[in-house]
Amino acid sequence: MTNPAILANDLRKSYGEKLVLDGIDLAVPEGTVFSLLGPNGAGKTTAVKILSTLVTADAGAIRVGGHDLAADPQAVRAAIGVTGQFSAVDGLITGEENMLLMADLHHLSRREGRRVVAGLLERFDLTEAARKPAATYSGGMKRRLDIAMTLVGSPRIIFLDEPTTGLDPRSRHSMWQIVRKLVADEGVTVFLTTQYLEEADELADRIAVLSDGKIAAEGTADELKRMIPGGHVRLRFADPVAYRKAAAALSEAQRDDEALALQLPSDGSQRALRAILDGLDSAGIEADELTVHTPDLDDVFFALTSTSTSTGTGNNAPKEAVR
């Protein structure tokens, strides 16, 4: 890899007895979107906090933006922006005032600060709401304000911790557009955590699945899908006699006697389908319904995180609270 924006080697972290990160390696090339995918409680936020200097790792070598995190955390902080569950948005003051505070923090002159803030408010569709207290904003608007505040400092690397958790579908799609534009227009590197497979599939160049403190798998969405033999063909019959005959003809099929359905492992190719249909033809049977299931990220996720699914990927409550 020519220019890794983020490199971590054998990252470890425990909270008391609780082992959260059990030696993880990460390598994120510049200008790409990397997604750390895992169920609630997997350790995603902990990883973001460590990589963004907010929490110290127990062990591991980390470089962010070319800087050694342990030796020069200040340089790392100057290169990154962090948004998400520990939002910096102050609800008591207006969106614009939040932005101007960030401009002050980054030592922009008054005039330059106002220029940058006005541009970002416009870009994130917040101009109209700029003079209202941030506490009155919708979930989507707060997230947009949060990202806009991060961009005041022109970071080259942005950490987005569960940026769409708790958002409605429309706001989620608008957040995806924002992330895509950031990478395409400005070449920033995005480190994104999510519990949504669809989000990782939509946005990430590479995905790492975090499970039980380890990276269970890493690759592009397509590479991950190919790792899992989830593909199958399902045949359904209306007539129980035809079903039983088919089950006898296709002896390798998994039976679902109640639904009168047979399931056969298959890559979904024409050749594989023809073999199944030939098998049925030669027994003189016709299926009433044939469906092809190709593995998706859901299959990958559940196959890889099977031991920790009880932590519940359905918990969508946002952890942040805007004062």
Buried b (16+ CB within 10 A) or exposed e, 150-171: bbbbebbbbbbbbbbbbbeeeb
Query: Phi then psi for 243, rounded to 5 degrees?
Result: -60, -45
Q: Please report how close the Cβ of residue 24 comes to ligand ADP at its closest, in angstroms.
A: 12
Tell me the two tokens of residue 55: 């929490």
Tell me the two tokens of residue 320: 């942040």
Helix (H) or strand (E) holding 24, with range, is: strand 18-29
Cβ pair 37, 62 in contact under 8 A: no
Ramachandran area for residue 50 (φ above 0: left; ψ -120 to 50: alpha; else beta): alpha
Question: Judged by CB, which is closer to ligand ADP: 40, or 98?
Answer: 40
Question: Judged by CB, which is closer to ligand ADP: 127, or 316?
Answer: 316
Q: Please report how close the Cβ of residue 49 comes to ligand ADP at its closest, in angstroms.
A: 7
Question: Judged by CB, which is closer to ligand ADP: 17, or 258?
Answer: 17
Q: Please report how close the Cβ of residue 132 comes to ligand ADP at its closest, in angstroms.
A: 30
Residues that bind ligand ADP (CB under 6 A): 15, 18, 20, 38, 40-46
Euclidean distance between CA atoms 54 and 69, whole angstroms:
11
Q: Please report how close the Cβ of residue 301 comes to ligand ADP at its closest, in angstroms.
A: 13
One-character DSSP codes across 231-271: -EEEEE-SSHHHHHHHHHHSTTSEEETTTTEEEEE----HH
Question: Judged by CB, which is closer to ligand ADP: 18, or 115?
Answer: 18
Euclidean distance between CA atoms 192 and 36, whole angstroms:
6
Question: Judged by CB, which is closer to ligand ADP: 43, or 95?
Answer: 43
One-letter amino acid for residue 276 of the chain: I
Question: Judged by CB, which is closer to ligand ADP: 87, or 263?
Answer: 87
Tell me the two tokens of residue 297: 């990220």
Question: Judged by CB, which is closer to ligand ADP: 41, or 230?
Answer: 41
Euclidean distance between CA atoms 60 and 71, whole angstroms:
13
